[in-house]
Structure 1
Amino acid sequence: MDDKVRPIDVTTVQERVYQELRDALYQGRFMPGEVLTIRALAAALGTSPMPVREAIQRLVTENALTQLPNRTFQVAALTLENYDEWIRLRCEIEGYAAQRAALRATPGICAELRKINRTFGEAIEARDAGGMLEGNQHFHFAVYEAAQSEALLKIIGSLWLRFGPVLAFVQHIDGSIEMFRRGVPVHERVVAAMERRDPEEARFALALDIRAAASWFRRHHFGAPIQAEPVPPRGARIGRPA
């Protein structure tokens, strides 16, 4: 029998489970504070509990999930304090990634970003919530991958694991479609800056995209006043059209 079948590469299954759970967190398919169980996740994924357990432990290590005493796990909770901190970190770190990307972008990368942004816009007009969240994630990470820094990409990924579930709330707030729609031209502004190899403008436009959406959510979810905008990077062209 040993010569008729080969052992299954379980590490491949574990990695696929991890990637699926990671993407679910990135795209806001889990709510902040939501409690998860290995059994339920394994049933939903169509796998045995073992690869789910391994993936969950990785996400606990990355601070995306917290292990509770009763063998369940909880998605990172959302408070106004940690929300504001996440936004500040995202503006700084992801803005820096866009700055790097602008110095390394190729026509092919920019064309792909425009294709992703077009698909994102189509999902918005179709009122496809899942497509909007997926399209937004794909656009941002395509920019960050263009920065060509594995270390930077890992840091950003860690931030998104904790911030992504916030997007689960957005789908249920009236007016969210318009908020997403306003992101399409800002994405275009990021791409245009990358085409011109203008790192300061790319950094500013990317941070603007994050900050504008964050301010909208902060006002509608927390009912808190919008905080002052961060000081733009030196030399940023605030009034220049995309």
Structure 2
Amino acid sequence: MAQLPAPMKDRPMTERLPAHQIAYIALRDMVLFGELAPGDAVTIEGLVARLGLGMTPIREAIRRLIAEGALQMQGNRRVCVPRLTDAALADLGYARDAVETRLAEQAAGQCDAAMIATLRAIDARLDYAISTGNIPAYLRTNHEFHFALYSCAGSDVLHALAASLWLRFGPSLRVVCQVPDGTGARGADGEMLHMPDHHKHAIAALETADIPALKAAIRDDIAQGVANIRAGLHAGLLG
């Protein structure tokens, strides 16, 4: 059984959001940032108790995430994150490459010096997460970097597609970040961290307005994550 986050009442959240949106954001983040690993199951009642929200908004959030492919219903009123297959992973890699390189291309002309400085600051926090072995912080900061860049593209359609693809991708990345094989950065707990990061190449490309190099950096970042997850699949780490 997966460990759930602290009760929603203990978390900062704007009071202007309706309960169903709060439930969706909370449960989406649990999936996106690996608090629920592929195959981990939680009960609906457990989510209600832990998030401090009612049954109705939790059910609505679950329905939305099932429709997005991020969750699946099991028996006994439980939900879980689907396990990826080789075929699904290949499709996700293809789709992410197509959508996110296009977003990067569209963002390139809109990223001013202030945004580039923001991306550098995010990347510095990501480096710190890697050096300290803080995998949850890595996952959140990695996501923050990509979507700060993509927000400059001005494409609601492609941004939404990218967000949906990350929901299917993130939980598996959390698992394989912890695979020790003798390569990669070593965290504070001694585990080898498999964390794709071509962000500095992306920032350098933005600074010189080199769109092909920017697209290549994003493509390489995606490909490394896909390769890590595929290795985890073949090693039996993802079910």
TM-score category of the 2 structures, normalised to the smaller one? 0.7 to 0.9
> Mapping of 1:61-140 within 5 angstroms?
61-140=67-146
Residue 203 of structure 1: aligned partner = 215
Matches of 1:78 and 1:152, distance apart in 2:
23
SS of 2:109's equivalent?
A: helix
Higher mean Cα deviation, 119-128 or 53-62?
Answer: 53-62
Which structure has the highest helix share of the two? 1
Q: What is the TM-score of this pair, normalised by structure 2? A: 0.81
Residue 189 of structure 1: aligned partner = 201
> Mapping of 1:139-150 within 5 angstroms?
139-150=145-156
| Offset of residue 131 of structure 1 | 0.9
SS of 1:104's equivalent?
A: coil
Matches of 1:12 and 1:196, distance apart in 2:
43
SS of 1:73's equivalent?
A: strand
* 1:38 to 2:50 alignment: no
Letter in 2 for 1:153: H
User: Number of paired residues?
Assistant: 215
Higher mean Cα deviation, 10-19 or 149-158?
Answer: 10-19
SS of 1:174's equivalent?
A: coil
Residue 216 of structure 1: aligned partner = 228
| Offset of residue 173 of structure 1 | 1.1
Matches of 1:68 and 1:138, distance apart in 2:
31
Residue 4 of structure 2: aligned partner = none
Question: Which consecutive unaligned segments of at least 5 residues does structure 1 have?
Answer: 1-8, 225-242
Residue 154 of structure 1: aligned partner = 160
Q: What is the TM-score of this pair, normalised by structure 1? A: 0.80
Q: Which has the larger radius of gyration?
A: 1
Q: Percent identity?
A: 32
Matches of 1:221 and 1:166, distance apart in 2:
9
Matches of 2:62 and 2:167, distance apart in 1:
12
Residue 20 of structure 2: aligned partner = 14
Q: Classify 1:94/1:180 alpha carbon distance in 2 versus 1 (closer, same or farther; 3 Å).
A: farther
Residue 169 of structure 2: aligned partner = 163
Residues 162-218 of structure 1: CA deviation (Å, up to 9, x unaligned)? 11111231243115752867744x201111212222222211110101112322332
Residues 142-180 of structure 1: CA deviation (Å, up to 9, x unaligned)? 111121111111101111111111123124311575286
Superposed CA RMSD in Å reads: 2.3
Checking the alignment, whether the CA contact within 8 Å between 1:35 and 1:73 is kept in structure 2 is: yes
